[in-house]
């Protein structure tokens, strides 16, 4: 496959960036998107040019490190996958592919396509945990948990914190991420003890960091590589309302 890439290049956080055109040739349709980026970077290095900086780590869709806004979609045009799981067969030969970084005020660009997602860590630090004195190993069935709730908590915990929800949201809202992290605790008895402070502190931190508000457009759910449901957002709204009125 021959492709025309249009990639956002920015040398540093406070520098003006711009789109640069890169043609790439003889890309296998079975190559992954990031392998295609590696091939481009090898060519750039061989030509003495600066390679394109982009985030990646496990390359098997579980670490949440890769990002990229590809042709208007977070993690590219395919559903329910991360960019590292995207393959070139999803594109047409000769296609122009526009590659942009996540764009949100709380996610400042570090370089090229890399953004700083520390804002998510700060939200987790504000309440995304349970304070448990870990003593001996408790008996597995000491606390009964409904199967449905265990499943829903597990579904919420599938969030890898990649930031696609923020990137896809027209308001750069982090509601899907925060609600998944609130839900995974709120659904389980261990998380209920600190539920009130957790939802209040995490939402306050989310607002402080400058994420937008939720307009219930559900673009986040559509673009989430882990299919996190917007039902979590409603759960967080319930938790928040309950915390505020109690």
Partner 1 sequence: MNLSYSSITKKIWMSLMGLFLMIFLVVHLGINLLLLFDPTRELFNEVAHFMGTNPIIQIFQWVLFAGFAIHIALGVILQIQNWIARPKRYKVKAISEDSFFSKFMIHTGIIILIFLVIHFANFFIKVKVFHGVDDFILAGVNTGMEDMGLLVVKLFELPEYVIGYIIVLLLLGFHLDHAFQSAFQSLGLNHPKYTPCIKGFGHVYAIVISLGYILIPLVIYFTK
Residue 121 CB, shortest distance to partner 1, in Å, is 18
In terms of C-beta density within 10 A (0-12 exposed, 13-18 middle, 19 or more buried), how is residue 51 classed?
Answer: middle
Copy the structure tokens of residue 52.
């394109």
**114 interacts with partner 1 by CB under 8 A:** no
Residues in 149-208 at the binding interface with partner 1, rule: CB under 8 A: 168, 170-173, 175, 203-204, 206-207
Size of the site for partner 1 (CB under 8 A): 48
**92 interacts with partner 1 by CB under 8 A:** no
Among 214, 225, 226, 228, binds partner 1 (CB under 8 A): 214
**146 interacts with partner 1 by CB under 8 A:** no
Q: What binding mask, one character per residue, do residues 2-21 give for partner 1 by CB under 8 A, x or -?
A: ----x------------x--
**25 interacts with partner 1 by CB under 8 A:** no
Pairing verdict, β 3-9 and 96-100: parallel
Stretch that binds partner 1, among 50-58, 71-79, 111-119, 155-163 (CB under 8 A): 71-79
83 CA to centre of own chain: 11
Residue 69 CB, shortest distance to partner 1, in Å, is 6
Copy the structure tokens of residue 6.
């249009």
**241 interacts with partner 1 by CB under 8 A:** yes
Residue 58 CB, shortest distance to partner 1, in Å, is 25
Q: Which positions touch partner 1 (CB under 8 A)?
A: 6, 19, 69, 71-73, 77, 98, 100, 103-106, 168, 170-173, 175, 203-204, 206-207, 210-219, 221-223, 230-231, 233-241, 244
């Amino acid at each position: 496959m021959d492709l025309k890439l249009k990639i956002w290049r920015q040398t540093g956080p406070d520098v003006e960036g711009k789109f640069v055109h890169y043609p790439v040739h003889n890309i296998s349709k079975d190559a992954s998107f990031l392998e295609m980026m590696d091939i481009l970077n090898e060519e750039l290095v061989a030509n003495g040019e600066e390679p394109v900086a982009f985030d990646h780590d496990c390359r098997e869709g579980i670490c949440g490190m890769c990002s990229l806004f590809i042709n208007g979609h977070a993690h590219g045009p395919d559903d329910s996958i991360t960019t590292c799981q995207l393959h070139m067969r999803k594109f047409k030969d000769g296609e122009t592919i526009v590659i942009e970084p996540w764009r949100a005020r709380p996610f400042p660009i570090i370089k090229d396509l890399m953004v700083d997602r520390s804002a998510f860590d700060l939200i987790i630090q504000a309440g995304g945990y349970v304070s448990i004195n870990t003593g001996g190993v408790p008996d597995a069935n000491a606390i009964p948990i409904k199967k449905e709730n265990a499943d829903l908590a597990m579904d919420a915990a599938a969030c890898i914190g990649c930031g696609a929800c923020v990137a896809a949201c027209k308001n750069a809202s982090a509601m899907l991420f925060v609600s998944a992290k609130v839900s995974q605790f709120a659904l389980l008895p261990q998380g209920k003890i600190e539920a009130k402070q957790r939802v209040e502190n995490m939402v306050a931190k989310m607002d402080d960091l400058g994420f937008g508000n939720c307009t219930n457009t559900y673009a986040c759910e559509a673009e989430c590589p882990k299919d996190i449901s917007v039902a979590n957002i409603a759960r967080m709204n319930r938790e928040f309302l309950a915390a505020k009125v109690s």
